[in-house]
A and B are shown apart, each in its own frame.
Chain A
Amino acid sequence: MTFDSIIIGGGLAGLTCALTLAKAGQRTALVTAGQSTLHFHSGSIDLLGYDEQGRTVLHPLDAIPALGASHPYHKVADVGALAEEAAGLLASAGLPMDGTAARNHFRLTPMGVGKPTWLTLQGLVQSTEEQTLPWREVTFANIRGFLDIPTEFLVDNIRRMGTDVEVKHFTTPELEQARRSPSEMRATNVAKVLADETSLRRVVEAIDALGADGEVVLLPAVLGMADARTESSLRQLVERPVRFVATMPPSVPGVRLQSRLRQTYQQLGGMFCASDTVTGGCFEAGRLRYVTIGNMPDERLYADHFVLATGSFQSRGLMSNYHGVFEPVFGLDVDAAGDRRAWTAEYVYDAQPYMRFGVRTDERLLTCRGGARIDNLYAAGSVLSGHDALKLADGSGVDMLTALQVAHNILEK
């Protein structure tokens, strides 16, 4: 089989790149093993939340030029323009978001912390201020027995922001049924239970019956894995205004991001190889000619361009063993400390050096192998070296912007 481009990895970076290339008319294939870090996602896209001193960034576009030289954003030609393109791509995929790259707003974490971010899925709690919410009093309505939102922390921290919180619990026959199995009360399971109209209507009735005093009702974000429809119809049906708070994983908004991007990509004719892995590749004269995949061992997948968007250690896009750090698909060159003792820091919330490890790329985001550049194998997203996504709060932004830049680089060629 022959493609214009093959993208390896089905997380935010891989999907963004594949979708952009497919939109441009390329014949594309995306190979993905399955879950990605979108399953642990907040529902917000962070561009740059903190600077390298840990201070909150209010205007990310202004702060990006000051980032260290190794930061992948320096390989993005026009961050502002690509940020707009990214927001447009999400909107066109049925993922309406609020926010602008010129000024961060703040998302509310499951523990009630305000974290600076760029785009937030409509319906999730957001604020223009880090330390305050836009309401005097809110009602937090949790599902009875739902443990995957740390209610005590959330409520206490909202109160510390100066907003009163009233806590209520509700349930429905469908939810009670699901709870009989002790492990069923996870956000994505709840989302499945509440996917049909009857179940949703019962939730609406249960919330209305709470007699909430708050200006808004906050609910855990457990609605709508496939699209925003259940969430928005609930918002229309409930008497009070409703906002959602991200939960502990698995993340329903994250799964929605993934499934909308995937569907949009497939509607454009992109080939999507799910539950599959690239098992090897054939390099010739400084180029990757074809790859082979696990589910079709006899088939060679040829392409003009390849994009590696396999993520970091947690996604196994990077791997390590007793001896060192490596890129497992092609054995690409990586930026990583050789001495294992230099990978980590002693305190868990200090900057961990391994966070900056990743695949080495040139200014065009092309990878190299054995010191030699590979002219048609790009890397995008969390597999890239050079920044600490936890300390800078820039992970999703790097995913989307480097993926778009790679798509542009491919299309320009």
Chain B
Amino acid sequence: MDMDILKEYDVVVVGGGITGAGTARDCAMRGLKVLLVEKYDLTNGATGRNHGLLHSGARYAVTDPESASECIKENMILRKIARHCVDETDGLFITLPEDDLAYQATFVASCRKAGIRADIISPEEARRLEPAVNPSLIGAVRVPDASVDPFRLTTANVIDARRHGADMLTYHEAVGFVVESGCVRGVRLRDNHTGDTFEVRSRMVVNAAGIWGHLVARLAGVTVNMFPAKGTLLVFGHRVNGMVVNRCRRPANADILVPDDTVCVIGTTSDRVSFDTIDHLKATPEEVDVLLREGEKLAPALAKTRILRAYAGVRPLVAADNDPSGRSISRGIVLLDHEMRDGLAGLITITGGKMMTYRMMAQLATDLVCRKLGVDKPCLTAVTPLPGSEKPVAAGHTSRRATEYSTHAQEGRHGTMTRLIDAGSVETRALVCECEDVTVGEVKFAVDKLHVRNLINLRRRTRMGMGTCQGELCACRGANVLCQVARTEPRAAEHDLAAFMAERWKGARPVAWGDTLGEAQLTATIYEGLCGLNRLCGDDKKIAL
């Protein structure tokens, strides 16, 4: 979805993750002319590579009370403004025989102090509420954790930003700044499809590029000390648990199991990595081992559940300001006014924080932008529902007709925007992805409204290829429907399909044993043996790796 862009904006926001999307929305709602730029696809960074956990804040209650109270506040807001992205599952913090039950009292007291409802329940009650939980638990606390879809949440923010007049360029990377007399006056962008570069002028630039913000700041000649902390997660083949399950102990590796749509996710690990790895993260066998070992303690059924894939993201940890040693790392929100800090007007950085607190981060950044630009408009993002969440979708479907299953799935994904999906003909109701009930109409909708140009975009917006078969049959159908709808050159679409399969394999490979290996072989038999896709895309290896 290319668009005409203006010569000059009030604000350019760099980074198409949830923070950038949220900031673009907030700025646009306050009447600013906004351009959002993202170097690849929306949600390509940490936003698309986390648990999808809507923290209650309980996890941080003991160790980081400030984060805990931010979380619970935002948790309650997102349930209202982003209801179609949130699955109100509730969560358990369980104590296992190897854990210290005394910690539970400290935990509950800290939760309550932070304003988080925390109810101690009996192990029997916990087993009744969540049959998948480790039955040997000796204690449980119920908290308002939930599951949130970060892809949807980001898309909804972008859609609303655009409704308020914002422009967006995906696959456009900030490669430099326009600096005039010590003041940032715009950005230099490179189109990552064509390699063309050009300048866009603006009164302010917001650096919201997550871990890549370190590199973006450097382009402007300022230093933001960030530390990439890699977190690896595993996706299981079905939704084993109905509630979020956590360990009731100080936060550690692999102690959260989150139900996400049709699957569940265990994570994470946490390791410092170097900047040269952040664009090509790989889950290691050691990380997979830790996740499995610890995950089974939360829900023993995981030991017998097929693992679909492993993936990794990078948290943007920030050294407290002016501490070049990086000893005092903060997981909190960091807002840097580079005019005050570095004498460089026109640039601010918003980073740190969590997906959970993106709205608050966006508000802080936008407040600062408005102060700089002399705009006096209140922030309304906490009370204005996102597109798709204006009202609850019709609850309690009674019809069991097969033709309507996909509508139910789509309502889960797109909320009230489902009405924009053409389901009026047999053609548009035809299924592309059977695991996730994605129809031809939904693909068209995604291309028209959700900035979809390739299969990876389509997967992130619709879940196509994210289910049990990992794209075994739907990828080919999706590639062809996309080719027709988006009018892609067939040869380019073939390369896109090969890249999509390479990406699916990248996630499956670290867990390629059992059914996962069998399924991978079947997929290869279809695409390579039956179809000869590899013969069409012989030189794609270096692009994929």
Chain A interface residues toward B at CB < 8 A: 37, 40-42, 109-111, 113, 115, 144-145, 147-148, 150-153, 155-157, 176, 179-183, 185, 246, 248-249, 251, 312-316, 319-322, 340-341, 343-344, 346-350, 352, 354-355, 389-390, 393, 395
Check A322 against B480 for contact (C-beta < 8 Å): no
* B403 interface neighbour in A182, A313, A347, Cβ under 8 Å: A182
Check B402 against A183 for contact (C-beta < 8 Å): yes
Q: Is the interface of A mostly helix, strand, loop or mixed?
A: loop
Check A153 against B521 for contact (C-beta < 8 Å): no
Cα–Cα, bound, A156→B491 (Å):
8
Check A355 against B521 for contact (C-beta < 8 Å): yes
Provide the B31-46 mask, 1 if CB < 8 A to any CB of A, else 0. 0000000000000000
List A contacts of B541 (CB < 8 A): 347, 349-350
Q: Is B219 located at the chain interface by the 8 A CB criterion? A: no
List B contacts of A344 (CB < 8 A): 509, 512
Q: Tally the A-B contacts, defined by beta carbons under 8 Å.
A: 157
Which of A182, A341, A390 has its CB near the most chain B CB atoms (within 10 A)? A182
Q: A176-B426, A181-B402, A347-B541 are in contact. Are A150 and B521 (CB under 8 A)?
A: no
Q: A111-B533, A113-B531, A147-B430 are in contact. Are A343 and B402 (CB under 8 A)?
A: no
List A contacts of B430 (CB < 8 A): 145, 147, 179, 182, 185
List A contacts of B524 (CB < 8 A): 348, 352, 390
Check A40 against B480 for contact (C-beta < 8 Å): no
* A181 interface neighbour in B403, B480, B506, B533, Cβ under 8 Å: B403
List B contacts of A393 (CB < 8 A): 529
Chain B interface residues toward A at CB < 8 A: 285, 292, 402-403, 406, 426-427, 429-432, 434, 439-440, 473, 476-477, 479-481, 483-484, 490-491, 493-494, 498, 501-502, 504-506, 509, 512-514, 517-519, 521-522, 524-526, 528-537, 540-541, 544-545
List B contacts of A249 (CB < 8 A): 473, 526, 530
Check A314 against B483 for contact (C-beta < 8 Å): no
A109 to B: closest C-beta gap in Å: 5
Check B484 against A152 for contact (C-beta < 8 Å): yes
Residue of B nearest to A46 (CB): B529
List A contacts of B481 (CB < 8 A): 147
* A182 interface neighbour in B292, B402, B509, Cβ under 8 Å: B402
* B480 interface neighbour in A145, A151, A179, Cβ under 8 Å: A151
A315 to B: closest C-beta gap in Å: 8
Cα–Cα, bound, A37→B537 (Å):
24
List B contacts of A182 (CB < 8 A): 402-403, 406, 429-431, 439
* B285 interface neighbour in A145, A156, A183, A340, Cβ under 8 Å: A340
Give 6 closest A-B pairs by Cβ, nearest first: A113-B532, A156-B490, A348-B505, A349-B534, A314-B522, A152-B483
Cα–Cα, bound, A251→B517 (Å):
22
Q: A111-B533, A249-B473, A314-B521 are in contact. Are A319 and B480 (CB under 8 A)?
A: no
* B514 interface neighbour in A185, A320, A350, Cβ under 8 Å: A320
Which of A152, A246, A251 has its CB near the most chain B CB atoms (within 10 A)? A152
Residue of B nearest to A395 (CB): B529
List A contacts of B501 (CB < 8 A): 348
Check B498 against A349 for contact (C-beta < 8 Å): yes
Q: A152-B483, A181-B403, A389-B529 are in contact. Are A341 and B518 (CB under 8 A)?
A: no
